[in-house]
């Protein structure tokens, strides 16, 4: 595709439920990033994939959060036992190879609301 | 820990005015600095990326500068238009990581017709 896509665009769930957020990076990009943006704040790093492996998951807030990228393309961010504090915009980005000189291209985000 | 600060938090200007948005960062050992635009409820659009070896980048009416030694970057918007109204975020790549972006909270710009 032409850009990074994310689905769904909006997700409303109840406290305690499980959710999955999907990211399709730009074709050919091996590096994929997830960020979380709370209202009125800048995005905060969650996890970085290089190919199929999570090179850095230090930003995941706790063990309820998990992400996969089994074939090195699409990634899914999974949140178990959702809490109201998980409500935020979840942003995915990709870049060509993960090099420090590269631009990260962001998707439109998934807005998660936990009631 | 790298911290990025953006001033002002909000700015309202009349159409046609030139304006400057400010970004400061605490750790000068950065690889690059990137400016983004975010419309309400939307994702981020990359505007300009300045490598650590560069002093400025230009794209149309936008000009971004970088002064690593003082830990500052500015985004200059010439002849502002109502369509420029959005939140502008700066983010640096550094602080011990060559892939993580550390963002400021953004400046909410309103350009009044």
**What string of pLDDT tens digits covers the 113 residues of chain B?**
789 999 999 999 999 999 999 999 998 888 899 999 999 989 999 999 999 999 999 999 999 999 999 999 999 999 999 999 999 999 998 866 778 899 999 999 999 99
Hey, are the CB atoms on B34 and A108 less than 8 Å from each other?
no
Model confidence at A92, pLDDT cuts 50, 70, 90, reads very high
Mean pLDDT of chain A: 94
Q: Measured at the alpha carbon of residue B50, what is the angle toward residues B49 and B53, in degrees to the nearest 5?
A: 150
Q: For residue A56, which residues of chain B lie inside 8 Å, CB to CB? A: 97, 99-100
Model confidence at A1, pLDDT cuts 50, 70, 90, reads low
User: What's the pLDDT at B41?
Assistant: 87
Residue A98 scores a pLDDT above 70: yes
User: What's the pLDDT at B95?
Assistant: 64
Residue A64 scores a pLDDT above 70: yes
B95 touches chain A (CB under 8 A): no
What is the rounded distance in angstroms from the CA atom of residue A48 to the CA atom of residue A93?
A: 9
Q: Which residue pairs, CB below 8 angstroms and at least 24 apart, start in B76-81? A: B76/B18, B76/B19, B76/B20, B77/B18, B77/B19, B77/B20, B77/B21, B77/B109, B78/B18, B79/B16, B79/B18, B80/B13, B80/B15, B80/B16, B80/B17, B80/B18, B80/B19, B80/B109, B80/B111, B81/B15, B81/B111
Please give the residue that has the higher pLDDT: either B95 or A4: A4
- Please provide residue B51's backbone torsions phi and psi, each rounded to the nearest 5 degrees: -75, 160
B110 touches chain A (CB under 8 A): no
- Shortest alpha-carbon distance between residue B63 and chain A (Å): 17
What is the distance between the terminal CA atoms of chain A, rounded to a whole angstrom?
Answer: 33
Hey, are the CB atoms on A111 and B41 less than 8 Å from each other?
yes
Report the residue from B41, B42, B104 with minimal CB separation from A42.
B104
């Amino acid at each position: 595709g032409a850009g990074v896509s994310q689905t769904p665009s909006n997700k409303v769930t109840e406290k305690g439920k499980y959710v999955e957020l999907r990211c399709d990076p730009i074709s050919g990009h091996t590096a994929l990033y997830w960020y979380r943006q709370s209202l009125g704040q800048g995005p905060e790093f969650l996890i970085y994939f290089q190919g199929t492996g999570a090179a850095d998951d230090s930003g995941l807030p706790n063990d309820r959060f998990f992400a996969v990228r089994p074939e090195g393309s699409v990634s899914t961010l999974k949140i178990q036992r959702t809490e109201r504090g998980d409500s935020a915009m979840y942003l995915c980005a990709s870049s060509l190879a993960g090099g420090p000189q590269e631009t990260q291209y962001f998707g439109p985000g998934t807005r998660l609301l936990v009631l | 820990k790298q911290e990025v600060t953006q001033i002002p938090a909000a700015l309202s200007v009349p159409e046609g005015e030139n304006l400057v948005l400010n970004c400061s960062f605490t750790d000068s050992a950065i690889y690059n600095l990137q400016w983004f635009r975010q419309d309400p409820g939307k994702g981020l659009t990359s505007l300009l990326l300045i490598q650590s070896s560069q002093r400025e980048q230009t794209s149309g009416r936008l000009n971004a500068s970088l002064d690593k030694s003082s830990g500052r970057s500015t985004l200059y918007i010439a002849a502002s238009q109502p369509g420029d109204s959005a939140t502008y975020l700066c983010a640096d790549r550094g602080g011990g990581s060559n892939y993580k972006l550390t963002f400021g909270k953004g400046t909410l710009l309103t350009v009044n017709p």
